[in-house]
A and B are shown apart, each in its own frame.
Chain A
Amino acid sequence: MKIAITGGHVIDPANNVDGQHDLFIDEKGFIIGIGTAPAGFRAEQTLDASGKLVFPGLIDLRARLREPGLEYKATMESETRAAVCAGITTLCCPPDTYPVIDTPAMAQMIQQRAWRFGLAFVHPLGALTQGLQGRLLTDMAALDEAGCVGFSNALEPVTDTLVMRRAMEYAASFDLTVFLHPEDPWLRNGGCMHEGEVSTRLGLPGIPEAAETAGVARDLALVEQTGVRAHFCQLSSARAVTMVAAAQEQGLAVSADVTAHHLHLTEHDIGFFNTQCHVLPPLRASRDRDGLRQALKNGTISAICSDHQPHEPDAKLAPFAESEPGISGLETLLPLTLRLVDQGLLNLVEAIALLTSKPAQILGIDSGHLGIGATADLCILDPEARWVQSLDRFTSRGHNSPFLGWDFRGAVTHTMVGGRLVFEGR
């Protein structure tokens, strides 16, 4: 269907567009005009976006969809639906599914399942080592061929430094990106929250900042040695960010992302054992949160992700250390990012870029922009709508969130994937 989106304020950071323009989409789902209609274009449907923002659909670098393997928590269908309701049109799925994404068949199966529901696009990350066990390499070239956008060992550490070196060398041979979760497992030592004042008060085993910085230092040494393109996932400490910035300064091909919750919460939000704040890597000190925010501003960190982890209620109804880590984050990714704009940290264009064009660049995919010829993955937002996060607002099957009761400004009214309207809001 030919669609015109009229009167909206279009923000397309990749193409330096920031102003009121009409958008024209052809029957195949491509953007064929911006500003003035192409000759002979007759819209079959017109969406009036006056007073609203129109920007590329968001790209979330990390979301657990729980399928295959943990369907009692959520499914591909439920979570890709939650994604489009939140303006997210592309998701990256880490390889720690059951079974692990370490074969081309698994990678293809995940993409085909997602395709069948026709909601958000799902790009798998392939396992860096077989079974994520940190011993044997996966068939990276075949996995790449099967659609994997990068390679990661998810939260499983590759303790053998030589295996990590080989994995990076092998990935570099085929120009593949490795996604790293830097952590020294010995220093982690079974910890469940940031090691500091609050862990001491609560008597919970802590994860020292050095668990992350030692991991970053090791991985950076290997990145330098191997020349691989590396992306650091969800940095949590200010010092780790400084190390990545120094490596970038030095000219290494390293990028980094941060989760939306690490930009807003600290160890103190755990209060008296609030398991909704149990996340990995842990929420750290205020100084760290401020360092992460600064790194967004100065460009060291180039993407914000949800690290979506939907859980059934029982997963959080346990003593803190025994509760399962993670936040159902898809539906607060955009609101928490817009809050950074309201707080004056970022301008709107910078904020949208961190959710669209910049993550697309990290993944090396042609997405996250609204140029002529681009697939019409986009979202329309009412910037003035105010709402309060509550249990009944979740589309995700996971209702585990520390942001219940937070009030937000800005609500998605429409989401389009490949020129099809897949969400139309309240």
Chain B
Amino acid sequence: MTRCDLQFDGQGRLRHLLTIEGLPRQTILEILNTAESFISVGEREIKKLPLLRGKTVVNLFFESSTRTRTTFEIAGKRLSADVINLNPAASSATKGETLLDTVRNLEAMHTDLFVVRHRESGAAHLIAQHVPAHVHIINAGDGRHAHPTQGLLDMFTIRRYKGPFENLRVAIVGDILHSRVARSQIHALTTLGAAEVRVVAPMTLLPTAIERLGVRVFTDMKTGLDGADVIIMLRLQRERMNGALIPSEQEYFNLFGLTEEKLAYAKPDAIVMHPGPMNRGLEIDSAVADGPQSVILPQVTNGIAVRMAIMAIIMGGSAAGPAPSEARRAE
């Protein structure tokens, strides 16, 4: 099973966004194209569109976040929705309420869209299986599984700077094992037809059989970055030494930290990305993070337009998926 049909309604319209895995190429492209049209909204004096007026969006973050939650909040507000932020990690969840009970209670308040982040892989799927037809779910990160809006905003950024995917070599560097961002990027890149997707990390930070997702595996930066058009650096949790996954921060930085010297292995016009938050001096050197090839801050800006596009498509019911007959054929 490689397709998640839960994401589409009976008419083949995108109803939830849970994972990029199995999304048709045209759905991804429609999201990127819609986001393109929203970019200018953020540059206007009046930054609001009335598309979601009267709708209620709940940002349900069981795991803390600043950037993702804030950009979702801004995206919802720019579309004129009422946005409420909840951090149940600090409230009902600690009182023993189950995940589904929390969602049912909020649903009883006539919420139209939940943006959910949870520490467990599969949490967004579980919620999507148990909400009524008119309620939509956007996965804002579940465990190590998926972070589809991040994956899509990264695709949007790559396309803006580097053009068509067919010609691109993309290297994803760092803690792939624990990264939901990497998984979403890999699915997006392989669906969009990138020429080559690479992962670069020591074996301890690579999940078993990662090559089955359609990537090439490298354990050193020199060959891994050779000729790359796009370099995506992943965040390394400082605690990873504890699980005997890496020996020290120093050794990690020496081998896998992106410095100007290692950046030179890639194409001269390669771009450098990072989903944030960055550990300067651990996975990335400040000279690179703030250098001319870095597009790390534009990623954040683009995040708002891409999240607006996803909300508008899901709630506006515009046909973003394949026709039902085509969906069946894709099985």
List A residues at the B interface (Cβ < 8 Å). 195-197, 199-206, 208, 268, 271-273, 314, 317-322
Contact = CB atoms under 8 A, between A and B. Distances in A.
Residue among B1, B99, B100, B213 with max Cβ neighbours from chain A (10 Å): B1
18 contacts: A195-B208, A197-B208, A200-B212, A202-B145, A203-B143, A204-B145, A272-B19, A272-B122, A272-B125, A273-B121, A273-B126, A317-B98, A317-B126, A318-B98, A318-B126, A319-B118, A319-B120, A320-B121
A204 B121 contact: yes
Contact of B213 (A195, A201, A317, A318): A201
Contact of B98 (A202, A203, A272, A314): A314
Which of B6, B21, B125, B130 is packed against the most chain A CB atoms within 10 Å?
A: B125
Given A200-B210, A201-B21, A204-B145, A268 B1 contact: yes
A200 B125 contact: no
A200 B209 contact: yes
B123 interface: yes
Nearest to B121: A203
B207 A319 contact: no
Contacts of B15: none
A271 B1 contact: yes
Chain B CB count within 10 A is highest, among A195, A201, A206, for A201
B144 A204 contact: yes
Contact of A320 (B120, B130, B183): B120
A272 B183 contact: no
Contact of A319 (B121, B183, B210, B212): B121
A322 B180 CA distance: 18
Nearest to A208: B208
Contacts of A268: 1
A204 B143 contact: yes
Which 5 residue pairs across A and B have the least CB separation, nearest first?
A: A203-B144, A203-B145, A319-B120, A273-B122, A200-B207
Given A196-B208, A200-B208, 6 more contacts: A197-B208, A204-B121, A204-B143, A268-B1, A273-B121, A319-B126
A317 B122 contact: no
Contacts of B146: 203
Contacts of A314: 98
Interface string B100-142: 1000000000000000001011110110001000000000001
A196 B209 contact: yes
A4 B1 CA distance: 51
B122 A206 contact: no
A319 B121 CA distance: 7
B4 interface: yes
A3 to B, nearest CB: 50
Contact of B183 (A195, A203, A273): A203
B: interface residue count bin: 20 to 34
Interface in B126-175: 126, 130, 142-146
Nearest to A205: B144
Nearest to A316: B126
B97 to A, nearest CB: 12
Contacts of A197: 208-209, 212
Contact of B99 (A205, A271, A319): A319
A201 B123 CA distance: 15
| Central interface residue in A200, A272, A314, by most chain B CB within 10 Å | A272
Nearest to A317: B100
A93 B154 CA distance: 53
Interface in B267-310: none
A195 B122 CA distance: 16
B123 A319 contact: yes
Given A199-B207, A199-B208, A317-B126, A272 B121 contact: no
A321 B118 CA distance: 12
A208 B209 CA distance: 12
Contacts of A195: 208
Contacts of A273: 121-122, 125-126
Contacts of B21: 201
Given A196-B208, A268-B1, A201 B122 contact: no
A171 to B, nearest CB: 35
Contacts of B100: 317-318
A203 B209 CA distance: 12
Interface in B1-22: 1, 4, 6, 19, 21
A369 to B, nearest CB: 43
A200 B122 contact: no
Contacts of B121: 202-204, 273, 319-321
B100 to A, nearest CB: 6
Interface string B210-236: 101100000000000000000000000
A203 B123 contact: no
Contacts of B145: 202-204
B239 to A, nearest CB: 15
B182 to A, nearest CB: 10
A376 B144 CA distance: 54
